[in-house]
A and B are shown apart, each in its own frame.
Chain A
Amino acid sequence: MAKPFLQIKNLAVDFATRRGVVHAVDDININLNKGEVIAIVGESGSGKSVTAYSILNLLGNNGKIAKGSITFDGMNLENPSASLLKDIRGREIAMIFQNPMSTLNPIRKVGDQLSDMLRQHAQATNQTAPRKVIELLHKVEIQDTRRVTNAYPFELSGGMCQRVMIALALACNSRLLIADEPTTGLDVTTQKSIMDLIMGLVKHRNLAVILITHDLGMAYQYCDKFVVMEKGQVVEACDDHSLFTSPQHSYTKKLLAATPGISSKVEHLTPTVPVELSKPAVEIEKKELLKVEGLVKTYILKSQGGFKSQGNTFNAVDGVNFTIYQGECVGLVGESGCGKSTTSRLIARLEQPSEGRILFLGEDIGQVSDRDFIRSPRRKDIQMVFQDPTGSLNPRHSAFQLISEPILRLQKDFNKANLKDQVYQLAEKVGLPLELIYRLPHQLSGGQKARVGIARAIALNPKLLILDEPTSALDVSVQAIVLQLLEHLRREHNLSYLFVSHDLNVVRMLSQRILVMQSGKIVESGETAEVMSKPKHLFTKTLLAAIPQLAS
């Protein structure tokens, strides 16, 4: 049997830290041939990135390959010389990263960065570079080449930047592409077009790809071989899609169960179902809690260079109408920039609506200015769970302080003696271990931080909870637990949710009704099952088609 194109054998990587040596990954075996796409799947901290980075020796000063070998096309890469690395990086093996906006140099034009790459590896001269750059951009399906070559990275969208990154990776006809979560943070529709582009390149250029991802749906849809990693170990490797139909290892099973699919239910995401969830859902009585009428938010765009801001306005939210009934979860779905976050901030009264009414139990809370709303008795009825569990917790406050904050500020009959009991009860309710309650946010894991955020939001028994992409920064298994927790809390306390997300699969599981939003307007709304099975609007159809699905 011929030697594979890329062979990683018994690889172990160690990092020297001030707390001693950390064995990041151990005993990794990967074989990859030309034209194959391998997925390294795992959750954060599983060592999937370290494995890929070690191929290019991008391990930092404190990391080293402790044992094992990496062979790429007959070359040994476990202990490369500086000159070999210089030749290989970019020319033979290219890499694209998670956040394309920050991977491109922000102060240089895109065209210059591309031609640098070409000249560095002697693929072009000063004369031929501009033409080659345009050819490259055409290859990654960018039509508007003149604008893109003269643009700075911040002037381009995330998807466009990722295309440029791929162009950079392909500039020198690399034969192996390492894609580290290339579409995390991008919209599903953009994700689909980026992945389709990469798959096209695999087909036409016989490119080998290592796709690092946490999304099993994406791995299923695009890859030929699979490696599942947990805690620095490969727990399961599989050369065909049988991984998804008959997983062997318990961790793979757990991951598969936790990944929301087209038909999965929130009860089935984790092996142990909380008791309350096994009960049938309560019927929602049609009692209006929130009614939004003709909501508009207009931003004034600053004209460049002028002293006065004038003229140009932009409607982030453009005449939105909807109702939320008591005890109901309504999903608000759309791509980034469609105005869904602005809508949620308007309802949470963090921003002032330009037009329209926000009726909360019949009372127009849009009339109260956001400054006065803090003192309104309605403040405690509308709370929010934020997207980023790290950024939404004050880094100087312990979990206890964070949860007690709304009680201290807003609870009328607040009693100092009860505070501790109250906070402990909340922590118990969201499943935060009590021994962690005096820790600071950076001493907690992502899931624990999410629990603190939820405990804080439900501290005052709000009537409406706005969930602003509450799980998008979490691993799937943690997401599964958080979703169950949210569903459990809704059923137990008859809460109402406005669930804002870009992920239809997630929204679907929790919501009774779904609103689809596009450029400030709601383009489709209806019962969840109906929207999912019989989408009417073209945009909904595109969204649904773009989601990578596991086989059901």
Chain B
Amino acid sequence: MGDLLLNKKVVRNTDTKLDPELSQHSQNSATPEQHDWRQQTWYILSQNPISMFSIVLFLIFILVGITGPFWVPFDPIASDTSIALQAPSFLHLFGTDHLGRDVFSRVVVATRLDLWIALSAVSISALVGTSLGCLAGYFGGWYDRIIGRIADTILAFPLFVLAMGIVAVLGNSLTNVIYATALINIPFFIRVARAEVTIQRNHQYVQAALLSGNTHLRTLVFHIFPNCLPALMVQMSLNMGWAILNAAGLSFIGLGVRPPVAEWGIMVAEGANYIISGEWWLVLFPGLILMLAVFCFNLLGDALRDLVDPQKRT
């Protein structure tokens, strides 16, 4: 997602530099941050070390998710009961589990699955929720009433129980976990988008856009929506954290991802039985990484908001 954003910036900045002579001009008069999106990003991030930290952490997670399966020292699924329940050592960094599988390899391999669930679930809910929220906020009236009640209805359920119910009814599969996670996150996007659009639509630039010949829908999509992005970015990254927790929670109680697939939630669930007998590493390491991922997403929100806010481009 971060990459996507940066790409968008490249496009923006290249098309505003059609004229070499002109960009020369502005180079003389403007501050250096303006010219290069890379410098711009760097400038914003260097202003805030926490943002920098969260972006670096996020990139590490993505990298591990993509490359993890190729370099892990052991097969994450192959069991070997002769080495079951070994404490962390140099050979098995995070120790081994009750079937003799390497916990480190499993944690690394699980990254891809967990990130995939979170990203796809949040993408779906952001797409659906933001569209509905924008319509409700801009057109008001019946749109607002109906969409508002839909959001209220979803929120009326305890969300985790609702997700459990959906997965139980639709069938125990990864796709359904994603759908369930997406559904329970939709109301949050509806609310944020609706609130932002109701603020933005009162700005005069909206009237100016209508006068310039934009239809209402076009004004909403190309003029108002981009100005709601900063707030939506924060919501998206927070929801990523929730989505990961939710997916892990579902597999913890036995829904969704099934053993022997490596997933942080399952690993915590399986390891929980062994805490009493002193094999703490089964729970601790997947739990820690899960926590770190959620923590990273919560911090990421601020960084992304700063990156999409034009006012920060000094």
Please list the residues of chain A having a beta carbon within 8 angstroms of any beta carbon in chain B.
18, 345, 348, 350, 371, 374, 379-380, 383-384, 386-388, 391-396, 398, 400-401, 405-406, 409-410, 420, 434-440, 442-443, 453, 456-457
Contacts and interface: CB of A to CB of B under 8 A. Distances in A.
Contacts of A438: 16-17, 22-23, 26
B205 A393 contact: yes
Contacts of A440: 310, 313
A384 B211 contact: yes
Nearest to A466: B211
B208 A350 contact: no
A324 B226 CA distance: 38
Contacts of B22: 434-435, 437-438
Given A396-B226, A398-B16, A439 B30 contact: yes
B109 to A, nearest CB: 41
Contacts of B34: 443
B211 A350 contact: yes
B311 interface: yes
A395 B216 contact: no
A456 B208 contact: yes
Interface in B181-218: 203-205, 207-216
A395 B210 contact: no
Given A434-B22, A434-B25, A437-B22, A374 B16 contact: no
A420 B47 CA distance: 35
CB-CB nearest 3 A-B residue pairs: A409-B213, A392-B204, A410-B213
A409 B214 contact: yes
Residue among B30, B205, B211 having the largest count of chain A Cβ atoms under 10 Å:
B211
A220 to B, nearest CB: 33
Contact of B18 (A18, A388, A420): A420
Given A396-B310, A440-B310, A391 B205 contact: yes
A350 B207 contact: yes
Contact of A391 (B26, B203, B311, B313): B203
B92 interface: no
Contacts of A439: 26, 30
Interface in B11-69: 16-19, 22-23, 25-26, 28-30, 34, 47
A396 B210 CA distance: 17
A135 to B, nearest CB: 40
Contacts of A410: 212-213
Contacts of A436: 26
Given A395-B227, A396-B310, A400-B16, A405 B204 contact: no
A394 B17 contact: no
Given A384-B211, A405-B214, 9 more contacts: A374-B215, A384-B208, A387-B204, A391-B205, A395-B205, A406-B213, A409-B213, A435-B22, A439-B26
A405 B314 CA distance: 24
Contacts of A442: 310-311
A440 to B, nearest CB: 5
A97 to B, nearest CB: 23
B48 to A, nearest CB: 11
A394 B223 contact: yes
Contact of B205 (A18, A394, A398, A434): A394
A371 B227 contact: no
A395 B16 CA distance: 15
A388 B204 contact: yes
B211 A435 contact: no
Contacts of A420: 18-19
A380 B213 contact: yes
Given A394-B205, A435-B25, A435-B29, A374 B17 contact: no
B227 A394 contact: yes
15 contacts: A18-B47, A348-B211, A350-B211, A374-B214, A384-B207, A384-B211, A386-B204, A392-B208, A401-B16, A406-B211, A406-B212, A436-B26, A438-B16, A439-B30, A442-B311
Nearest to B27: A435
Interface of B: 16-19, 22-23, 25-26, 28-30, 34, 47, 203-205, 207-216, 223, 226-227, 310-311, 313-314
Contacts of B30: 439, 443
Nearest to A398: B16
A456 B212 CA distance: 8
A129 to B, nearest CB: 38
A300 B22 CA distance: 52
A397 to B, nearest CB: 8
A63 B211 CA distance: 43
A385 B202 CA distance: 16
B25 to A, nearest CB: 4
B208 A379 contact: no
A442 B31 CA distance: 13
A329 to B, nearest CB: 19
Contacts of A350: 207, 210-211
B123 to A, nearest CB: 22
A435 B19 CA distance: 11
Nearest to A406: B212
Nearest to B207: A350
Contacts of B211: 348, 350, 379, 383-384, 406, 457
Contacts of A409: 212-214
Contacts of A398: 16
Given A406-B213, A438-B26, A440-B310, A386 B207 contact: yes
Residue from B34, B213, B223, B311 with most neighbouring chain A CB atoms (10 Å): B213
B304 to A, nearest CB: 15
A439 B26 CA distance: 9
Contacts of B215: 371, 374
B86 to A, nearest CB: 53
A375 B16 CA distance: 28
Contacts of B16: 398, 400-401, 438
A41 B23 CA distance: 38
B210 A374 contact: yes
Contacts of A435: 22, 25-26, 28-29
Nearest to A453: B208
A427 to B, nearest CB: 11
A386 B310 contact: no
A443 B34 CA distance: 10
A231 to B, nearest CB: 19
Contacts of B19: 420
B156 to A, nearest CB: 21
A393 B208 contact: yes
Nearest to A391: B204
Most B CB contacts (10 A, CB to CB) among A18, A388, A438, A453 go to A438
A348 B34 CA distance: 36
A405 B205 contact: no
Nearest to B218: A409
Given A396-B310, A435-B25, A405 B17 contact: no
Contacts of B18: 420
Contacts of B223: 394
Nearest to A459: B212
B226 to A, nearest CB: 5
Contacts of B28: 435
A387 B205 CA distance: 11
Contacts of A456: 208, 212
